[in-house]
Structure 1
Amino acid sequence: MPVTDVSHDLENRTLTIVADFAAPVDRIWQVYADPRQLEKIWGPPEYPATVIDHDLRPGGRVTYFMTGPDGDKHAGYWEVTAVDAPRSFSFDDGFADLEFTPNPDLPVSKNVFTFAEHEGGTRATFTSTYATAEALQQVLDMGVVEGASSAINQIDVLVS
């Protein structure tokens, strides 16, 4: 499994997931830069994603929905804040209705995804920061660690 470490810090309102891949940085970057590849890994296997809009540049927006095993749909969005291809990108990630209108009742996270050469492959660090400890606890209770870890672990199959 690529995920090697998961930690959360309520005081600092952060969730950090580290994963190692036996693929070069450019290949891991492509997973996020290409919406069809992103669909294969954004969301746990039982909730595959469909990317509607994909503008991975500062000021850009990515919109998507995940479809559950019973056909239920859950939408979300990224507001891209920074891009340093192929090394990193930052974005605000939020929940939305099926028209991609942000849901103010659910937390928005500020995310920084970084990709660095490591032992002949890539170490990816995924850091999410929430506005409050309560917001972080809310997504922890919703299963974000399990969902994100199973989603990230799908990258290995895609890049091999």
Structure 2
Amino acid sequence: MNNTNDLTNRTLTLERTFNAPIDLVWEAWTQPEHVAKWWAPHGMDLEVIKHDFSVGGKWKYAMPMPDGNQFISEGVYSEIVPQKKIVTTADFRPMTEGVELHIQFEKDGNQTKFTFSVIHETEEYCKQQEEMGFYNGWGSAFERLDKMLNDLT
């Protein structure tokens, strides 16, 4: 079997349990006014340029960088199952391009189990992204999400 085609070797995953109901966690992912508050790592701002939350809809966010440039995140939604799953393509220029995000939500009483997976084109690209700080970067954003959810509950 060719390991390049093995999703396990091409996927980076973060799992968390948020102390918030699933409808609130879903809203935090699907409403641009909420996304703007947490999508970026600590200390970074985010501008929501486009947010068409529908299958085939496009999203585009910009983070101003200290050097005056912008870090652009954008993609197209390919699957949306309300309060269960979001699948979207994603480019995070200039660092990451051509990945697919799989975001899963599972109700657990008044908490929400959350799984965030990023599928890369090759195993090598996946390893490179991990070494560049995937877990720290997304972990920081999800800490901001957790704080925002706690502030809203």
Distance 1:19 1:11, change over 3 A: closer
Which ranges of structure 1 fall in alignment gaps of 5 or more residues?
A: 1-8, 97-102
Which has more helix, going by share of residues? 2
Give deviations 1:28-85, integer Å, cap 9, x for gaps: 0001111111011112022222110001111011001112345442112021100011
**Further displaced range: 143-152 or 63-72:** 63-72
What is the CA distance between 1:106 and its match in structure 2? 4.2
Cα distance, 1:32–1:11 mapped onto 2, change above 3 Å: closer
Paired residue for 2:18?
21
Give the secondary-structure state (helix, strand or coil) at the position aligned to 2:55: coil
What code does the residue aligned with 2:120 have?
Y
**Aligned pair count?**
145
| 1:106 to 1:16, Cα distance in 2 relative to 1, 3 A | closer
Q: What secondary structure sits across from 1:81 in the alignment?
A: strand
Equivalent of 1:46, from 38, 43, 52? 43
TM-score, structure 1 as length reference: 0.82
What displacement does 1:11 show? 5.6
Is 1:75 matched up with 2:72?
yes
Deviation at 1:10, TM superposition (A): 8.5
1:123 aligns with 2:120: no
* Alignment-derived partner of residue 3 in structure 2: none
CA distance in 1, matches of 2:59, 2:7: 27
Q: Is the 8 A contact 2:22 2:111 kept in 1?
A: yes
Q: Does 1:148 align with 2:138?
A: yes
d(CA) in 2 for partners of 1:45 and 1:72?
18
**Please, what is the CA RMSD of the aligned residues?**
2.0
Q: Kindly state the Cα deviation for residue 153 of structure 1 after the two structures are TM-superposed.
A: 1.0
The residue aligned with 1:62 is 59
Q: Is the 8 A contact 1:46 1:69 kept in 2?
A: no
User: Aligned residues: percent identity?
Assistant: 28
Which SS does the other structure have where 2:9 is aligned? Answer: coil
Off by >4 Å, runs of 4+ in structure 1: none
Tell me how far 1:135 sits from its aligned partner.
1.4
Whether the 8 Å CA contact 1:107–1:135 is kept in 2: the answer is: no
Partner of 1:5: none
Question: Which secondary structure state, in structure 2, belongs to the residue aligned with residue 136 of structure 1?
Answer: helix
Contact 1:31 1:37 in 2 (8 A): yes
Unaligned stretches of 5+ residues in structure 2: 1-5
TM-score, with length taken from structure 2: 0.85
